[in-house]
Amino acid sequence: MDLTECQRFLPDEVAEQDWTGRERCGFVREDADGFCWFYEVPNEAKGEGDFFEISAEVYYEFVMAPGFLLGVWHSHPGGKPYPSSMDWEWHPDPKLLLFIVADGVARCYFDKKEVGLPWEHANSTT
């Protein structure tokens, strides 16, 4: 897929979150019209901290849903939209893109390299 043809703006529900506190996470899917949609799912990680976990049931539901699963996203509360070594270690599937969201910007990565331009929201400061 050519990410330059995909809708690049983060939806308000994702971009305008309170990005402090616990990490948020979800999936990015492409619909039949070529639009990309960010879906937030519950962070199942136990306790507080800079980590997230998506349940196997929710992961399976998104893998099996109609359309094309592009990748997984999570936030870096109070941080920058760049992956850490832990992000790559825990990335669920190397065939999926990794999106890191911080302060209204999502950066997209594949095979430990940034791909495409940042996805921005109108109110981003990053």
Longest Cα separation, the chain: 39
pLDDT for residue 77: 82
Whole-prediction pTM value? 0.76
> What are the tens digits of pLDDT across the range 33-45?
777 788 888 888 8
Query: What residue numbers bound the domain in which 20 lies?
Result: 3-120
In a domain, 36, yes or no: yes
pLDDT for residue 50: 65
Count structural domains, the chain.
1
Distance separating alpha carbons of residues 2 and 63, to the nearest angstrom: 20
With b meaning 16 or more CB within 10 Å and e meaning fewer, what string describes 16-25?
Answer: ebebeebbbb
pLDDT for residue 44: 86
Q: What are phi and psi of 60, to 5 degrees?
A: -60, -40
More confident residue, 126 or 80: 80
In a domain, 115, yes or no: yes
In a domain, 125, yes or no: no
The mean of the pLDDT values for the chain is 76
